Amino acid sequence: MKSPILDYLNELLDTCAPDASAKNADYIPELARVSPDIFAIAFATIDGKIYAAGDDRFEFTIQSISKPFIYAMAIEQRGLDEVMERIGVEPSGEAFNELSLEAGSKRPLNPMINAGAITAHSLIGEPDDSKETRVARVLKGLSAFAGHDLRIDTEVAESEWSAAHRNMAIGHMLRSYDILPEDPDVIVRGYVEQCAVVVTTRDLAIMATTLAGGGLHPVTGEQVVSQRTARHVMSVMLSCGMYDAAGDWLTAVGIPAKSGVGGGILGALPGQVGLATFSPPLDPHGTSARGVDVFERLSEDMDMHLM
Ligand code: DON
């Protein structure tokens, strides 16, 4: 299929050069094995048209890009007030794997950092639920956003679990403050499996479009979450989705977004489009370096900045 949009996406793939200082994540050993040259862009409109270029069907793990979706599910299940008792909505200004708890309440500052996401994972179940119950909900929820059944890459999950000391430490701190009522091993293990859900760049664009369209899936027609929840989640993505680079992102790109250490970036422009890129080498914030480049170009060329 030939179209000016596809020509433009292919031109972006050709002109956004690799950054020699960027490297694949290696604290999850399996992620270091993914080819750094894989590169894809996808773009989906809220009326269900999808444009994609490059390795757009290559499968990779969602990692932190799962966080806004699981947070949305927690809000739908528990209500916003109950979720807000456990997780704040303030930018942390710190790396994704810092503890970043609010003074006093000890709530994680926001749901996009690991501490907040581990807490959101806890909130999609009841305290007595098994790891399997929560992970089944994760798969069901993420699949509804994608519009087809997703699966877990068990090798990536095992690989992360074998070195999950930092997330375990965060889980135990949260348990000690009663932010997590459950066994932190069960919650962190489930969170690690959540991060190992397999997606393509096309899937991410469609998932983003579901948020951008107020929770309505552009292809299946399912109202996956309420419009209010989608608006709340995109607001938190805008202020916190890029961790300690949130201000740079907001000024340069101006699109609610979330990155993952697998190399994906997802952006949701409310009422308009969902966007996604994939390129594994990361910048110092744990975000795909080439992906940032593409989003800056897209925002500028297509006038997508919210301001
Ligand atoms: O918890 C972790 O460290 C990973 N499973 C996910 C971190 C992540 O993707 C951070 N984002 N850029």
Please state, as a whole number, how many other Cβ atoms lie within 10 Å of the Cβ of residue 81: 8
Q: Please report which confidence band the pLDDT of residue 200 belongs to, taking 50, 70 and 90 as the band edges.
A: very high
Query: Across residues 34-56, what is the average pLDDT?
Result: 97
Assess contact for 291 and 54: CB atoms under 8 A. Answer: no
- The residues lining ligand 1, judged by C-beta closer than 6 Å to any ligand atom, are 63-64, 96-97, 114, 160, 167, 195, 259-261, 286-287
Q: Residue 1: what pLDDT?
A: 62
Q: What is the DSSP letter of 61?
A: E
pLDDT tens digits, residue range 85-119? 999 999 999 999 999 999 999 999 999 999 999 99
Q: Which residue has the least CA distance to atom 12 on ligand 1?
A: 260
In the chain the domains, ranked by start, together with CATH numbers, are 4-63+200-301 (3.40.710.10), 64-195 (3.40.710.10)
Q: How far is the CA of 234 from the centre of ligand 1 (A)?
A: 19
Q: Please report which confidence band the pLDDT of residue 172 belongs to, taking 50, 70 and 90 as the band edges.
A: very high
Task: Please give the model's pTM, rounded to 2 decimal places.
Answer: 0.98
Is the confidence at residue 57, as pLDDT, over 90? yes
Q: How far is the CA of 6 from the centre of ligand 1 (A)?
A: 31
Query: What is the rounded CA–CA span in Å between residue 75 and residue 260?
Result: 22
Which has the closest alpha carbon to 190: 142, 136, 144?
136
| Residue 53 backbone phi and psi in degrees, to 5 | -140, 155
Asked if residue 114 belongs to a known ligand binding site, the reply is yes
Query: What is the rounded CA–CA span in Å between residue 194 and residue 262?
Result: 13
